[in-house]
Amino acid sequence: MRLSYSRADAVFYASTKYHEGNNHIDEFNADTCVACIKTYEGLGKTTPCVADCTAEVHRIDVIDDVRRHGMSLENCVHCRTCEYVCPQVNLKVRPTAQGSGPDFMGL
């Protein structure tokens, strides 16, 4: 039997909860992301962190006509896929703390 879940299902079953203002993924250099987005979009492809995130955390924000990397961290299920697929090694997912993060038992 093949069992698969949509991204929305994955986020639902993860039951994530975070403290206000959580910032558990470090983006080391915003300019690196701008260049990365430009490169991938120039090739007609989706930026890796946006394409491969399990929970649609990563997004492209247009700020002052510049396409920049943004994140909705409250959805994160801590799979660390984004860290591995980032071609510039520009992300670090830090461990959950103080009881925050996904409900691993329910996942």
End-to-end CA distance of the chain: 19
Binders in 36-55 for ligand SF4, by CB under 6 A: 36-37, 47-49, 53-55
Minimum CB distance to ligand SF4, residue 2 (Å): 22
- At 35, which helix (H) or strand (E)? helix 30-42
Q: Is 24 in the site for ligand SF4 (CB under 6 A)?
A: no
Structure tokens at 107: 């996942």
Minimum CB distance to ligand SF4, residue 43 (Å): 13
Contact 14, 102 (CB under 8 A): yes
Interacting residue with ligand SF4 among 80, 92, 100, 107 (CB under 6 A): 80
Q: Is 33 in the site for ligand SF4 (CB under 6 A)?
A: yes
Interacting residue with ligand SF4 among 15, 67, 70, 93 (CB under 6 A): 93
Please give the single-letter amino acid code of residue 20. E
Unique residue bearing structure tokens 């961290």: 73
